[in-house]
Structure formats: structure tokens, C-alpha cells
Amino acid sequence: MKKLRVTLAQLNPTLGDFRGNLEKAREALEIAEQRESDLLLFPELFLSGYPPEDLMLKLSFLKENQATLEKLVSYSEGKQVAMVVGFIDCREDAHNSAAVIQNGKVLGIYHKISLPNYGVFDEHRYFKPGQEMLVLKMGEIKIGVTICEDIWNPVEPLASLTLGCGVHLVANISASPYYVGKPLLREKYLSMKAYDYHVAIAYCNMVGGQDELLFDGTSLVSNPNGKVVLKGGTFEEEITTIDIDLDENLRINLLDPRRRYMSTQNLPFKFLELPPPKPKKERYPEKPGSHMEREEEIFKALVTGVRDYVKKNGFKKVVVGLSGGMDSSLVATIATEALGSENVKGVLMPSPYTSRESLEDAYQLAQNLNIEALTISINKVFESYLKALEEVFRQTNPDITEENLQARIRGNYLMALSNKFGWLVLTTGNKSEMATGYATLYGDMAGGLAVIKDVYKTDVYRIGRWYNQKKGAPIIPQRVFEKAPSAELRPNQTDQEKLPPYEVLDEILRYYIEENLDPGEIADKGFAMETILQTIDMLRKNEYKRKQAPVGIKISTRAFGKDWRMPITNRFREP
Ligand SMILES: Nc1ncnc2c1ncn2[C@@H]1O[C@H](COP(=O)(O)OP(=O)(O)OC[C@H]2O[C@@H]([n+]3cccc(C(=O)O)c3)[C@H](O)[C@@H]2O)[C@@H](O)[C@H]1O
Ligand SMILES: Nc1ncnc2c1ncn2[C@@H]1O[C@H](COP(=O)(O)OP(=O)(O)OP(=O)(O)O)[C@@H](O)[C@H]1O
Ligand SMILES: NC(=O)CC[C@H](N)C(=O)O
């Protein structure tokens, strides 16, 4: 019987916190050893954190990463479990690597072969690709070591590992960034890969936030039938263990012999002999896990993003301008879930255009969330601004200038509170607004973290509704959902004076940004060409604003961040 006990350390490292990451690795090593695991997997580049970006260019960073690996090796003395840990191997050049460590020794090092360089990835800037596969032999069991993108490449190195070397298990250490639906997509993809190649897969993913990126964990083990037998939590640190039956591979190969007719490049490989697994008494059973609904997944993602950004950057408390509108209500709710009521401050900043309902709703929300609410009127400052500008503006009519002044006074107040008390300012602009430039530069765009920057307005409502339903109470007051969205910068203003209805706007934006369709192709989906062109025109004209916006949390396949690199100066128009 080929049985292997595998432990997945789905952990949340902090980039550059070598000491903290090492401590997490040490704890996981103790647990895996206690559980008599044969193999322990950590995420990709676990010791340094991922993605290290230009820290990779610092020799001192690379040195500390090497020293951390050496400390982990010394912790492993006397331990039987073989661990595969992500680190940067940098001798003649830098490689995104996995070290195989057991009982005080580095037994082998694997260099990632497939380096991603699309979307949010930039690995060709930093790493040299590996040339050779690494196969661990534990008695009769053969295990292929891979790193993240290696398993996403359509053919190799999986074909060579399975058809060429006949591995029973592909171990993959990953840092796979999140977007909505990725956990399910990944599960389908990996289980299909396992089924296709008739090989078990043990996949250990990173969890936590790193600037705009989130890693959701959702690590898994699939048997060669494509059945997911173990699944880690989504957005949770977890150390899970399972006993995998690896006789299954041969049984399936005999029943379904497709593999006999497949071909491989036969990439070069190295074998590494390890002691065979010892027989175990008790058993770590299957734990297939369940799925989250879309709104819950996004909510949990944003909560993780806020918590990790705030904590990993040394903040404790945050501040949000509460307008009584949907966006600020959702941002305050997410922040409260992430940090606790005592760490979230709401600021009401009424003007003559602020409606009584908006003020009431903002207070009610603060009460429901049990967060402290401060009130600072902008009236006097606004008046004195107008007075100061009176002479210069003498021959002009009031317009957007006066509207933006109000947003800028509010931005100044929030930044003053941040300076005085060390509260991080959370901005509240959503993706529909960020796309169309419906926000004031240095006004409501002023702040440290744009929580819902990648969430369309229609989704902001959906998530708000889901949250109230989950709580079984109108935490976000019902009226917030019912009133027309408004910036309240002049009397009776509504968003729809400038923007198409959000249901239409968001769909057009989604087709254009996420699906990369041209205007004609969007029109084929049933939208008016005039609205499409108006939307794209706003999007294009406001690139300069996005270049100055705070970093936000990526939850879509294409966020305004690493994977949106549009020029500001741009005369191109699609046909
Ligand atoms: N290509 C370019 N490169 C660099 N800078 C450029 C630029 N084009 C304009 N600019 C600068 O940007 C300025 C215009 O930007 P900005 O001052 O922001 O003002 P603007 O975009 O004209 O107005 C802000 C809009 O956002 C709406 N708003 C504001 C606040 C909250 C909300 C809400 O509902 O949440 C909505 C408001 O009603 C208004 O429609 C120009 O005066 C110019 O200085
Ligand atoms: N009266 C106010 N008091 C406090 N903050 C405000 C006020 N008005 C605007 N803000 C802040 O500026 C942001 C921009 O909001 P605005 O009301 O202009 O439009 P919005 O995008 O509809 O946002 P919301 O849905 O939160 O109202 C708000 O989310 C809030 O953080
Ligand atoms: N770090 C990586 O290599 C990740 C690439 C992979 N395609 C993913 O998104 O999961």
C-alpha cells in the first residue's frame, strides 16, 4: 500500500518579516512532526513573502532570506518530516525556489520552471527559470515538486513528471492571487488536471493580503480521480493533514489508459532518495469542504484585505467619512468586521446640502456598528474658502469648483485626524466611480487604502444586502438602499445626472475592462452605442485620477492596479 501523510501549512506570511515568517514555519514544522506527517508543504516564497517586487534587487534582502532558510534547516534537526518550503535561491542568479529539507539538511532545491509574466505577475523581471524537475522518492512513492505557475502551464512540466517520471503525487507550493470565483475555478482546474494526468495533487496556497493582492488559501488535495479529498479554508490560516492513498493512480491508469498514448518533452529531472513513509496507527480522513456564495466570498476577501493592510503596515485604527450613503456604510461595516468596533471611527461632516435623512442614516449606522461617531461641520470652512476666493472668482458662476471644495475640506479633515491620532483613512470610492472619475482628486480620493476600489456599485448594494440578511437585522439602515445615490454637493444632486444607470454602466465597464471587448462587441450585447462611447470616454479621460488614487484591494480579474497599465496620454480610439 502506498500511503503518504501530507500536511499543508496554509499560512499568512508578511513580506520581508523573515523572523515572523520563520516563527510560523517553525510552529507548522512542530505540528506536522507531531502528526507524524511524511511531507509538509509551505506556500511559494514563504520565507520572504510574495511578491517581493524590487526588494529582489537588494543583496541584503536575499542574504536574509538565505539566513532564514538556514535557521529553518537547523530547526528541522531530529525531525522526520520532509518539508518543501518556498525561498529565493540566489547564487549566480535568482530563482523562485523550493527547498526540500529533512532532519537538519537541505536535500535538494527545485527552481520554478514556468515563470508567469502576465496580469499582476512580473517574474521575468526578477527570476531565472529552472531547467530541471525534482522528484522525491520515498520508498516506492514518487513525488514531483512544482511551484505555482508550473501547474498552470497547459502541458509541462506536468506531462514530463507524470508520463515521463511516473510520479504518484504532484506537490505544488503556491502564491495564487485571488479574484472573485478563483477558489472555485482553481478547484475545478486542479481536480481536472489530476484527473487528466491520473496523478494526485497536493496544493498549498498562501493566505492573506499584500498591498493590492489577496491570497485566499483554499489549498487542496485531489486524488487522481479528480475528487477533492481535502480543502483548506478560504481566507483563513490553517494547518491541515490528510492520509493520501497513492495506489489509486495505477488502478485508474489500467481502467482508463489514455496516458499510454500521450507524449511528453521528457524534461531532465533529478531523483532525491528519502526514507520511506512509516506505517501509522490512526488515520487523517478526507475533509472536502464547501463553497461560499459570491457575496460572502467578496465580503470575506475585503475584510482580509483591510485587516492585513492595516495590521501589516503598523496601524491599529482607521477612520471613514460617513455620509449616510451606501459606499461609506459598506466600508465602515467591512472595517468593523476586520478590526473591531473600537478601532473604527466614523466622521459625519455635514454641509448645507446634507439631507436630514443622510445624517440620521449615518448616525444609525454608527450606532448599529457600535463605532464612535464624530461630527465636524464643514460650513464655516466652506464659507471662508468662498470668501477667500470671492475676488478671484468674481466674474464666474458657481460650478463643480465649489462642489469639489466641499469634498476637499472633508478630505483635509480626515487627513488631519489621521495625522493627529494615527488613524488610517479608508476611502470609499467604488469601481464604477474610479472608472468614470466620479470622485474628487485630493477630496474623497484622499486617503490610505481604497477598500472597495475594485467593487462595482451594483455589487456594493448586493454585498450590503447580503450582510444585513446574514445578520438578520438592518445594520446598514434600510433607507440607505432605497434613496438615490448622491454626492450631496449641491441641492437635489444625483449620480445619474452624470452617469448612466449603474446597472448599465457596470455591465459596460465589466465588458470593457475585465473582458476586453471593443465598443461594437459590447453593443452586440444589447447596449446603446452612445452610452458605451460615453462610458469609455469617461474611463479614458480619468486615467490620471487612477494614477493618483490610493492602493485598493483586488477582487476582480482586472483591477485598477498592477494589471491595468494604461497610458494617460492616449489618442487611440477603438474602431
Ligand atoms: N489629464 C490630466 N492630467 C492631470 N490632471 C488633470 C488631467 N485632466 C484634468 N486634470 C486635473 O483634474 C481636475 C479635475 O478633477 P477634479 O478636481 O477631481 O474634478 P472633476 O473631475 O471635474 O469633478 C469631480 C466629479 O466627481 C463627482 N464627485 C465628487 C465627490 C464625490 C462623488 C461621489 O459621488 O462619491 C462624486 C463630482 O460631482 C464631479 O462630477 C482639473 O481641474 C485638472 O486640474
Ligand atoms: N456629509 C458627509 N459626512 C461625512 N463624509 C462625507 C459626507 N459627504 C461625503 N462624505 C465622504 O465622501 C465620500 C464620497 O461620498 P459622496 O456622498 O460624495 O458619494 P457616494 O459615492 O455616494 O458615497 P456614499 O455612498 O458613501 O455617500 C463618502 O463616501 C464619505 O466618505
Ligand atoms: N505565483 C504564481 O505563479 C501564480 C500563477 C498562477 N497562474 C495563479 O494565478 O495561481
Is 16 annotated to bind a ligand? Reply is no
- Which residue out of 323, 399, 404 has the highest number of ligand 1 atoms within 8 Å of its CB and is therefore the one to mutate? 404
- The residue whose CA is least distant from atom 44 of ligand 1 is 441
**CA 296 / ligand 3 centre spacing (Å):** 23
Q: How far apart are CA 465 and CA 470, in angstroms?
A: 9
For residue 146, report the phi and psi dihedrals to the nearest 5 degrees: -135, 160
Q: Give the residue carrying C-alpha cell 534537526.
A: 77
Residue 321 assigned to a binding site: yes
The pLDDT assigned to 119 comes to 95
Q: What is the CATH number of the domain that holds 415?
A: 3.40.50.620
Beta-strand (E) ranges in 431-499?
449-450
Residue 190 has what pLDDT? 98
182 is in an annotated binding site: yes
Q: Are residues 145 and 182 in the same domain?
A: yes
Question: Is residue 326 a known part of a binding site?
Answer: yes
| Same-domain status, 429 and 524 | no
Ligand-binding annotation for 428, yes or no, is: yes
- Beta bridge partners, 222, equal 201, 228
Question: Does residue 434 contact residue 424 with C-beta atoms inside 8 Å?
Answer: no
384 has binding-site annotation: no
Measure 530 CA to ligand 3 centroid, in angstroms: 38
Nearest CA to ligand 3 atom 10: 176
328 is in an annotated binding site: yes
Same domain for 130 and 195, yes or no, is yes
Task: Classify the C-alpha dihedral 157-162-165-171 as positive or negative.
Answer: positive
In a domain, 260, yes or no: yes
Characterize the bridge pairing of strands 82-90 and 94-102.
antiparallel
Query: Nearest ligand, CA of residue 205?
Result: 3
Q: Are 201 and 151 in contact (CB under 8 A)?
A: yes
Q: Is residue 406 part of a domain?
A: yes
Query: What is the pLDDT, as a whole number, of residue 166?
Result: 93
Mark whether 354 and 263 lie in a shared domain: no
User: Would 566 be classed as within a structural domain?
Assistant: no
Q: Which three cell numbers stand for residue 526?
A: 444589447
Lining ligand 1 with CB less than 6 A are 400, 403-404, 407, 433, 437-441, 443-444, 487, 489, 495, 498, 544, 568
Residues of the chain with pLDDT under 50: none
Alpha-carbon span 355 to 488, nearest angstrom:
8
Torsional class of 340: left (φ above 0), alpha (ψ -120 to 50), beta (otherwise)? left
pLDDT at 263: 83
Beta strands in 341-415 (DSSP E): 344-348, 372-375
Å from CA of 554 to ligand 2 middle: 22
Domain end call among 205, 239, 274: 274
What string of DSSP letters covers 164-204?
IT--SEEEEEE--B--TTHHHHHHHHHHHHHHHHT-EEEEE
Contacts (Cβ under 8 Å, ≥6 apart) of 546: 434, 560, 564
* Alpha carbon distance, N-terminus to C-terminus of the chain: 63
The answer to whether 454 and 309 are in contact (CB under 8 A) is: no
> Who contacts 567 (Cβ-Cβ below 8 Å, separation ≥6)?
543
Residue nearest to atom 6 of ligand 1 (CA): 544
Asked if residue 280 belongs to a domain, the reply is no
> Hey, whose CA ends up nearest to atom 10 of ligand 2?
323
- Write out the residue range of the structural domain in which residue 69 sits: 3-274
pLDDT 10s digits, 450-496: 999 999 999 999 999 999 999 999 999 999 999 988 877 778 878 88
Q: What's the burial of 105, exposed, middle or buried (CB within 10 Å: 0-12/13-18/19+)?
A: exposed
Pairwise CA distance, residues 107 & 83, whole Å: 10
- Residue 422 is placed in which grid cell? 494615527
Q: Is residue 94 part of a domain?
A: yes
In a domain? residue 573: no
Catalytic entry in 24, 90, 142, 148: 148
Kindly list the protein residues whose Cβ atom lies closer than 6 A to any atom of ligand 3: 44, 116, 148-149, 152, 175-177
Assess whether the previous peptide bond of 51 is cis (omega < 30° from 0): yes
CA of 568 relative to ligand 1 center, distance in Å: 15
For residues 284 and 35, is the Cβ–Cβ distance under 8 A?
A: yes
- CATH number of 245's domain: 3.60.110.10
Q: Among all ligands shown, which has an atom nearest to the Cα of 567?
A: 1
Concerning whether 165 is annotated as a catalytic residue, the answer is no
CA 235 to chain centre: 9
Crossing angle of the two packed helices 379-390 and 400-421, in degrees rounded to 10: 130
Q: Among candidates 51, 50, 40, 114, which has minimal Cα distance to 75? A: 40
Residues 506-526, buried b or exposed e (16+ Cβ, 10 A)? bbbbbbbbeeebebeebbeee
* Annotated catalytic residue 33: no
- Residue 249 is predicted with a pLDDT of 81
Same domain for 224 and 244? yes
- Per 3-state DSSP, the chain is made up of helix, strand and coil in percentages (nearest 5) of 40, 20, 40
Q: Ligand 1 pocket test: pick from 353, 405, 426, 440 the residue with the most ligand atoms within 8 Å of its Cβ.
A: 440
Of 318, 520, 272, which is closest to residue 423 (Cα–Cα)?
A: 318
Check whether residue 370 and residue 309 sit in a common domain: yes
What is the structure's pLDDT at 1?
78
Please state the pTM of the whole predicted model. Answer: 0.94
Are 200 and 79 found together in one domain?
yes
Same domain, 173 and 245: yes
Distance 403 CA to ligand 2 centre (A): 12
- Co-location of 77 and 197 in the same domain: yes
Which residue, among 319, 49, 300, has the nearest Cα to 182 in the 3D structure? Answer: 300
Enter the C-alpha cell of residue 463.
454585498
State CA 135 to chain mean position distance: 31
DSSP 213-270: EEEEB--EEE-TTS-EEEEPPBTS-EEEEEEEE-THHHHHHHHSGGGGG-------EE
In this structure, what C-alpha cell is assigned to residue 282?
Answer: 490512526
Q: State yes or no: 218 annotated in a binding site.
A: no
Q: Which ligand sits nearest to residue 219's alpha carbon?
A: 3
Q: How far apart are CA 132 and CA 58, in angstroms?
A: 26
E strands of 475-566, at which residues? none
Same domain (yes/no): 161, 139: yes
- Regarding whether 201 and 231 lie in a shared domain, the answer is yes
Q: How far is the CA of 463 from the centre of ligand 2 (A)?
A: 18
Catalytic annotation, pick one of 44, 149, 212, 295: 44
Element (H, E) at 23: helix 18-34
Residue 517 falls inside a structural domain: yes
Which protein residues are within 6 Å of ligand 2, measured from CB?
321-323, 325-328, 347-350, 354, 410, 428, 433, 444, 485, 487-488
Distance (Å, rounded) from C-alpha 510 to C-alpha 515? 7
- Distance between CA atoms of 169 and 296, rounded to whole angstroms? 33
CA of 184 relative to ligand 3 center, distance in Å: 15
pLDDT of the residue at 306: 98
Give the count of domains, the chain.
Answer: 3
Contact between 423 and 317 under an 8 Å Cβ cutoff? The reply is yes
Tell me the backbone φ, ψ of residue 357, rounded to 5 degrees: -60, -40
Instruction: Give the distance (Å) from ligand 1 centre to CA of residue 302.
Output: 26
What is the number of the ligand 1 atom nearest to the C-alpha of 429? 35
- Establish whether 148 is a catalytic residue: yes
Asked if the structure places residue 152 within a domain, the reply is yes
305, 179: one domain: no
